[in-house]
Amino acid sequence: MIPSDIRSDFPLLSKVCYLDSAATSLSPEPVLEAILDYEHNFRANAGRGVHRLAQQASQKYGDAHQKVKKFIHADEEGELVFTRNSTEAINMVASGLPWQKGDQVVATLLEHHSNLLPWMRVRDRQAIDLRLITPAKDGTLDPATLEALITKKTRLVAITQVSNVLGNIVPIREFARICQDYGALLLVDGSQSVPHIPVDVKQLGCDFLCFSGHKMLGPTGTGVLFMKNPGLEPLLLGGGGVERVTAAGYTLTDGYERYEAGTPNISGAIGLARAIDYLKSLGMENIQHHEQTITRLIIEELSGIENVEVVGPGPAGDRIGVISFVIKGINPHDVAIMLDGEAKVMVRSGHHCCMPLMEHLGLSEGTVRASLHCYNTIEDAELLIDTVREIAGDFTG
């Protein structure tokens, strides 16, 4: 069970009904307090000095890496690097692998642009072959579709664990087994999975996992790249990423510092670590169950409203609390504006950075998307449902 009193940790909830966590989640007061503690009491650069403030900042920053690794059950293997977001993490992989002409990458039409455009650029610059898996209309991805596309030339498969539009959970482990059979690397976009369901990189069988802090109660400008076998060429070179520099050349350092040249987002990392503490205190299984209960109510009720169509898997599907819908005859942006104006309900509208998927689904104007997190309630769901019913009724009337 998720305690109802956690809403007091999110002051904004007293002013609005926030249903846009798939874009950016709210941060609880303990996260903000952790950030301010750094700013007030030991603001200094990490890994750059020996005075007490620098040592404390370095310790907290290093601890944050370990805490995130443990959260995804990667504490015994691989390397974890802090980035600005999932987008940067995915681009680090795309730019850091030694591509050869004729290499293949397989992605899907479910992907957020951040897990599609980098591979398109590699295709255009390195003359690789980019192949795309087409999902079913409800977002389902059949592993057999990968079997039909993958070859011995496939260097990497890039796939989301959860669709940011439809909310369906992809059976990553089955895709991982196919990748292993063909010797292909597997990159998983965990932007929508890590904040909402238990994730274990060992069970997933992936080589890379990318996710963003701002979707999991953490600060904006924080992200993560996990590498099972660190061997990428660093995206950036500079201070902190080298062991030794001479006029003749340089030697890169080991560990996450190799990939984090320059002054990092220290306060953000500390805030992200505190967000993980918060999520763990609630329990990821509890969060998943809590959101599924609310999701079922929303889908069942919206599906019964005339002229409202829910897009994606039904309430019993393997999914998270991301619900996309359309009201026939009304632009999704107009619906979002009306939800805000009439009931202070905050939702996302449009293509959700998934234009190829929207084209595949025949949704030229996109959808309205309501998305949940641990702080949402049945009352939030009922307010959304009642307001959508009024909007749809006013239109049909």
pLDDT, one tens digit per residue, over 198-229 is: 999 999 999 999 999 999 999 999 999 999 99
- Do 325 and 268 lie in a common domain? no
- Claim to verify: residue 132 and residue 171 sit in the same structural domain: yes
User: Does residue 287 fall inside a structural domain?
Assistant: yes
pLDDT for the residue 395: 67
- Backbone torsions φ then ψ of 48, nearest 5 degrees: -125, -5
- Residue 186 within a domain: yes
Classified as helix, coil or strand, 380 is helix
Largest CA distance in the chain: 77
> Comparing C-alpha atoms, which of 304, 298, 308 is closest to residue 385?
298
Q: How far, in whole angstroms, is CA 279 from its chain's centroid?
A: 15
Note whether 97 and 11 are same-domain residues. Answer: no
**What pLDDT shows up at residue 396?**
57
Neighbours of 6 (CB within 10 A): 15
Identify whether residues 262 and 304 lie together within a single domain.
no
Question: Both 247 and 315 in a single domain?
Answer: no
Please indicate, yes or no, whether residues 289 and 325 belong to a single structural domain of this protein.
yes
Going by the DSSP 8-state scheme, the letter that residue 232 receives in this structure is P
* 24: in domain: no
**Distance between CA atoms of residues 137 and 361, nearest Å:** 6
Please indicate, yes or no, whether residues 191 and 289 belong to a single structural domain of this protein: no
Is residue 25 in some structural domain? no
- DSSP code for 162: B
Domain stops at, among 281, 311, 346: 281
Tell me how far apart the alpha carbons of residues 326 and 212 are, in angstroms, rounded to a whole number.
27
- Determine the Cα–Cα distance for residues 183 and 151; give it in Å rounded to an integer: 9
Beta bridge partners, 310, equal: 325
Asked if residue 252 belongs to a domain, the reply is yes
CATH number (domain holding residue 237): 3.40.640.10
Dihedral pair phi/psi, residue 263, rounded to 5°: -70, 125
In the chain, what is the straight-line distance between the N-terminal and C-terminal CA atoms, in Å?
A: 41
pLDDT reported for residue 397: 52
User: In the chain, which stretches have pLDDT less than 50?
Assistant: none
Domain that holds residue 342: 4-19+283-396
Residue 113 in domain = yes
Give residue 211's pLDDT. Answer: 98
Of 281, 299, 316, the domain-final residue = 281
Contacts (Cβ under 8 Å, ≥6 apart) of 285: 198
**Final residue before a domain boundary, out of 256, 281, 306:** 281
149 belongs to a structural domain: yes
**CA 182 vs CA 97, 143, 149, 208, 230: distances in Å:** 18, 14, 11, 17, 20
Catalytic residues, which ones?
353
Asked whether residue 44 falls in the same domain as residue 65, the answer is yes
pLDDT of 202 reads 95
Where residue 352 sits, what CATH number does that domain have? 3.90.1150.10
What's the number of domains the chain is made of?
2
H or E segment and range at residue 223: strand 223-227
Same domain, 89 and 199: yes
**For 100-129, what is each residue's pLDDT tens digit?**
999 999 999 999 999 999 999 999 999 999
Q: Are 123 and 199 in a shared domain?
A: yes
Distance CA 20, CA 258 (A): 35
Dihedral over Cα of 255, 259, 263, 266: its sign: negative
Q: Give the pLDDT confidence score for residue 73 in this predicted structure.
A: 97
N residues, the chain: 397
Could you tell me if 267 and 323 lie in one domain?
no
In terms of domains, do 275 and 346 share one? no
